[in-house]
Structure 1
Amino acid sequence: MTGKIAYQGEPGANSHIACNEAYPHLEPLPCRTFEDCFAAVERGDADLAMIPVENTIAGRVGDIHYLLPSTQLQIVAEYYLPIRFQLMALPGTKLAAVKKARSHIMGLGQCRNFLREHGIEGVTSADTAGAAREVAELGDSTLAAIAPRLAADVYGLEILAEDIEDATHNTTRFIIMSREQAEIEAGDGPAKTAFLFEVRNIPAALYKVLGGFATNGINMTKLESYLIGGSFVSTQFYAEISGHPDERHVQLALEELGFFSQSLKILGVFPTSEYVLV
């Protein structure tokens, strides 16, 4: 065990904050890309990876789901982080002087109203904390960053406007990846099962797959589709359901899914984390 948890971004990023809150006993390990996060755990450089998958304002983090089919890692937990963005710049900068704001594309998307109201142009950076570092290094008083409060402390910036996200419910959901499966048994408490599947090329295959979950009384909490193989007719689906594969009604639903699918990959079984609206 390394005692480390990998995340994409630089120190001060929201993923860094999620690591500190969810796993305070582990050392956060910053990684340049999501691929690097997965690789760090696969190589044994980290025990876990904190991976954002969706946000209540900006939607899904598309890059992640294209990495899931090829990884051998398992989803072992989920975590919900309320997102609070601050506009930060060099000390002494006035809000009226800011012409451009740098941030991750998801950060810009979650603060559209503020940027429009103040006539500030959004500029995409690799991540939110990295944008703060860039502002500190460039020394341009017309440039600001949209990033978490922690980034202002890390890079010595001054906060010009607080909590500029478009909605107070702004929350990002993370999944935690590991080389080992979660130690959770049927009956231990509410659980989720995540999986990928590709339906057979027959009429109403997806309808029949979903029917198995309906008839067995299983709640499907997520279903997303992705084109694969450069084709507009070959589709892969990522799904999450409430329940454990060892529960009989879940077994029956997965058996029916398998009959109408040409592939099925279980990505993890993990405890359900309560999402609290703040």
Structure 2
Amino acid sequence: MTATTSGVIAFQGEPGAYSHEACRQARPGMEVLPCATFEEVVEATRSGRADLGMLAVENSTYGRVADVHTLLPSSGLHIIDEAFVRVHIALLAVKGARLEQIRRVRAMSILHGQCRGFARPHGWEMLNVHDNAAGARQVAELGDPSEAAFASALAGEINGLDVLAREIEDQSNNTTRFLVMSREPDHSRRANRMLTTFTFRVRNIPAALYKALGGFATNGVNMTKLESYMVGGQFTATEFYADIEGHPDDAPVARALEELHFFTSRLKILGVYPAFPGRN
């Protein structure tokens, strides 16, 4: 990991959000700055209010966080690390509340979808909120034993709530991947396993994507992620987001990226960073 271990790190959500947990795990010595949106995280980091930004990019159950993939290329920031957080979902309620008293549960829709197996038999009313930690805060403010929230145990601790049930997520490997963003790139580090993340747009020629990716196959470079998304709401303009194993200075990676240039109209390196030790 980079040497940045002090200062301020921004995250999306309220205190107790899973992004907050990611900050505590990846940068335990840094002060946290909660932000309402991903855009605010980027702006806080870009403006210098925060030294680093923590952005969620994908969840093993829910899939990718689409807003972030479209935000990264134009953010002006650079990926310097990745972090994986095991998403343990807790059912939180006011002190003294009992499970049989619960009538309504607050959480983001994506979190509701990650613990359907636990919730369905109870027949609770599900209320969508903009942030899981905000749902926990609202339950604390209401003081009603029939109100509950799906959120992290950290959110319960911060808001003085009881944990009525722990680890209620449907998938035992439910994990979210985060990216640590900085104003400056850091390509100097070397680790046993390095990752390079980039976006590209292929030229308008036949079989352009096939040709663009051929260099990675012929040079033995492992591509761990390839995703596409529309640019500017146009069906004919497609951007690709990719993660590969290796460093741009590695000979196989350098040759593959050089070949990629021939078939792309745009190529942007978003970050070069060590793979998270527990990513597998």
Determine if the TM-score, normalized by the shorter chain, exceeds 0.5.
yes
- Offset at residue 188 of structure 1 (A): 4.2
The reply to whether residue 5 of structure 1 matches residue 3 of structure 2 is no
Residue type matched to 1:206 in 2? L
Residue type matched to 2:146 in 1? T
Equivalent position of 2:257 in the other structure: 254
Superposition pairs for residues 73-222 of structure 1, below 5 Å?
73-185=77-189, 188-222=191-225
Superposition pairs for residues 220-235 of structure 1, below 5 Å?
220-235=223-238
TM-score (norm 1): 0.95
Deviations 1:179-204 (A, max 9, x none): 0112434x543211100111111111
2: distance between equivalents of 1:230 and 1:243?
32
The answer on whether the counterparts of 1:115 and 1:121 sit within 8 Å (CA) in structure 2 is no
Identity %: 52
2: distance between equivalents of 1:223 and 1:142?
44
Tell me how many residue pairs correspond in the alignment: 276
- Offset at residue 229 of structure 1 (A): 2.4
Deviations 1:43-83 (A, max 9, x none): 00111111111111111111111111211100000011111
Deviations 1:211-231 (A, max 9, x none): 111111000011110011222
Residue type matched to 1:251 in 2? A
Equivalent position of 1:63 in the other structure: 67
The answer on whether the counterparts of 1:184 and 1:271 sit within 8 Å (CA) in structure 2 is no
The answer on whether the counterparts of 1:76 and 1:182 sit within 8 Å (CA) in structure 2 is yes
Equivalent position of 1:22 in the other structure: 26
Equivalent position of 2:40 in the other structure: 36
Structure 2 portions without partners, runs of 5+: none
Query: RMSD value over aligned CA atoms?
Result: 1.6
TM-score (norm 2): 0.94
Query: Match of 1:184, SS?
Result: coil
Give the stretch that moved more between structures: 98-107 or 231-240. Answer: 98-107
